[in-house]
Amino acid sequence: MSEEILRKYPELVIEGQPTVKQRLDICNKAVTQMAIDASKACIKNWGRSVSEITHLVYVSSSEARLPGGDLYLARGLGLSPETHRVQLYFMGCSGGVAGLRVAKDIAENNPESRVLLATSETTIIGFKPPSADRPYDLVGVALFGDGAGAMIIGSDPIPSTERPLFELHTAIQNFLPDTEKTIDGRLTEEGISFKLARELPQIIEDHIEAFCDKLIRNVGFSDKDYNKIFWAVHPGGPAILNRMEKRLDLLPEKLNASRRALADYGNASSNTIVYVLEYMLEESSKTKRQDQGDGDWGLILAFGPGITFEGILARNLTV
């Protein structure tokens, strides 16, 4: 939120005003432009032509329209009209890893395909004017952030032109029965109203170990090997990271990338896992130079409405 926006839309600071139209006018345009910018940067780093993208997976919980943002992103990038598009809406914090899972499935089932995964979020859709009656809202304002991210996913990389960063080995999704109200979001006349139950960190702590064990046993690891693998965890908030670290007895540096992303960008919903992976690659390149790298294998994790656990067993190909 900025003073410029509030001057243009002064009704946003009036309690109880039906402003969903104004919010969507802002958000729909903003998330498209951020997704275009992130995707262009990603495609440039990839090094191949935009015309070689065959599929698009677009993730956002910050817009609502028909046609969806996937079409506007495809048009803004100049993708072929034959590009196969999938959009994942309102998956919240788990959306980025869910997008990776879907892109992985597409790539493995379509030889020679190249899937662009783009995520884009803005908090304006859920902005509330400050109120002494809702002091807890300040926590949300401090915690959540805006941004966008993008990745290219494919199988059988071309050695001469592509430098793969991760191998996505196994992807799973679980939801916890009877937790639907723990993360509750509703589209109202005032925008999106979110409620996060205080027991969310405890619920994640109670179930995280069994979920991770399902993934790591695929390559012969056990719970005794938690500190032998990397951890790319969506930082829903400090309490979630702290409880995971304690429950799994992780070394403090294992969640460095997640804590850096949270400190620098806040919880930017589906985007944040992109920032975490980028920081993790940066840190692994430093440890590689010092010949102190961790093992290749690790977990990419996120938690969202449902409560839904998304996880990918991956191998870091840069260490």
Query: Tell me: the pLDDT tens digits for 35-78?
Result: 999 999 999 999 999 999 999 999 999 999 999 999 999 999 99
**228 vs 248: CA distance, rounded Å:** 12
Output the pLDDT for position 295. Answer: 53
**Concatenated DSSP letters of 195-243:** EE-TTHHHHHHHHHHHHHHHHHGGGT--GGGGGGSEEEE--S-HHHHHH
Distances (CA, A) of 2 to 14, 22, 124, 238: 16, 15, 10, 26
Farthest-apart Cα atoms in the chain, separation: 60
Q: Which two tokens stand for residue 210?
A: 């069994």
CB 192, CB 125: distance < 8 Å: yes
Query: Tell me: the pLDDT tens digits for 106-154?
Result: 999 999 999 999 999 999 998 888 888 888 788 888 899 999 999 999 9
Output the pLDDT for position 283. Answer: 87
Who's near 90: CB < 8 A, 6+ residues apart? 61, 185, 305
Q: Exposure of 112 by Cβ count < 10 A (0-12 exposed, 13-18 middle, 19+ buried)?
A: exposed
Tell which wins on pLDDT, 228 or 141. 228
**247 vs 25: CA distance, rounded Å:** 43
DSSP 116: E
Q: Which of 295, 261, 293, 253 is nearest to 278 (CA)?
A: 261
CB 72, CB 102: distance < 8 Å: no
- DSSP H or E segment with residue 191: strand 191-196
- pTM beyond 0.85, yes or no: yes
Q: Exposure of 197 by Cβ count < 10 A (0-12 exposed, 13-18 middle, 19+ buried)?
A: middle
**265 vs 150: CA distance, rounded Å:** 16
The pLDDT of 190-207, averaged and rounded, is 91
Angle at 153 between CA 55 and CA 32, to 5 degrees: 55
Q: Which of 16-25, 188-197, 230-239, 296-305 has the lowest mean pLDDT?
A: 188-197
Q: What percent of the chain has pLDDT over 70?
A: 97
Output the pLDDT for position 293. Answer: 42
Who's near 19: CB < 8 A, 6+ residues apart? 9, 11, 12, 189, 190, 191
Query: Tell me: the pLDDT tens digits for 229-274?
Result: 999 999 999 999 999 999 999 999 999 999 999 999 999 999 999 9
Catalytic, 212? Answer: no
The catalytic residue among 27, 42, 93, 212 is: 93
